[in-house]
Amino acid sequence: MATVHHTRYLQQLEELAANGDVSDFLLWPRTPIETIQTKIEQRVGATDYQIQRPFSRPAMIVTFLKRLCENKILPEDFSVLDIACGDGIVLWQIQKAFPQSACYGVDCNKGQFPAHAMVERDGVRISKAYIQHLFKSDSEEPFDVVLMLNTYRDWKAADLRGHEIDLPDLANHWFERNGRYLVLTTGRQGYDQLKRLGFAIRTLGKGEDRSNLICASKRKLPRAALSEVFKEWVKWGYPKAQSH
């Protein structure tokens, strides 16, 4: 559910970002701003625009969210935060599929992606914020769903400075406090870390490169809500997810 708490939280993060220089916070300077969807297609097999392909990131995520709503696990007006949302197309697809949802994204490159104008026009709210601030603060109310896709699995590629090496751990503990259901792209290391923290984990499908798209929660994850994702996956004969 969208609340004033989420809006206030993101406004506070924007205020912090306004007082900083992006060069002091940028972790993935090689992000392909103009060609991000080309890179996603190379890594996943479909762009985020191609929601008709069941193995695309938005298709898997939207299918999963639909099952949660149908099983009364999520309300129709659920809130979702995409951390390091990039061009915001995944959120845009969620907003179109669930018009009552409140879709928020944070990215240090807000306004630089050509798609941002369209995405925001259609209801997605994107804030310029730095994850260094986000993972050290909490929302007064958790988000129903939190996404962190390619960047979560790619901490090794992040230009972490000495004082930022604890960001992956901070992220995991932030998830515990601020997200009811998580959708993440991760490899074996991230999977094991979340399991040690007591998260229930289910694999939705293949993520970028040699990673998996997973859902994780401290709440029980109903298998019935995941079955449709796997049915579509098998029907298309797409490469299997990595085994954990």
Give the residue carrying structure tokens 């029980």: 220
Q: Is the pLDDT of residue 236 over 70?
A: no
Q: Please answer whether residues 151 and 28 qualify as being in contact, where contact means their C-beta atoms are separated by less than 8 angstroms.
A: yes
Q: Is the pLDDT of residue 227 over 60?
A: no
Please write the tens of the pLDDT for every residue from 96-146: 999 999 999 999 999 999 999 999 999 999 999 999 999 999 999 999 999
Please write the tens of the pLDDT for every residue from 51-94: 999 999 999 999 999 989 988 999 999 999 999 999 999 999 99
d(CA 153, CA 114) in angstroms, rounded, equals 25
d(CA 76, CA 86) in angstroms, rounded, equals 25
What does the DSSP assignment read for 155-172? GGGS---GGGTTHHHHHH
d(CA 227, CA 187) in angstroms, rounded, equals 22
- Split at pLDDT 50, 70, 90, the class of 29 is confident
Q: Is the pLDDT of residue 226 over 70?
A: no
Please write the tens of the pLDDT for every residue from 68-79: 998 899 999 999
Biggest CA pair distance of the chain? 50
- Report in angstroms the alpha-carbon separations of 172 from 15, 58, 186, 228: 24, 23, 12, 28
d(CA 173, CA 194) in angstroms, rounded, equals 9
Q: Per the CATH hierarchy, to which homologous superfamily does domain 4-28+54-236 belong? A: Vaccinia Virus protein VP39 (3.40.50.150)
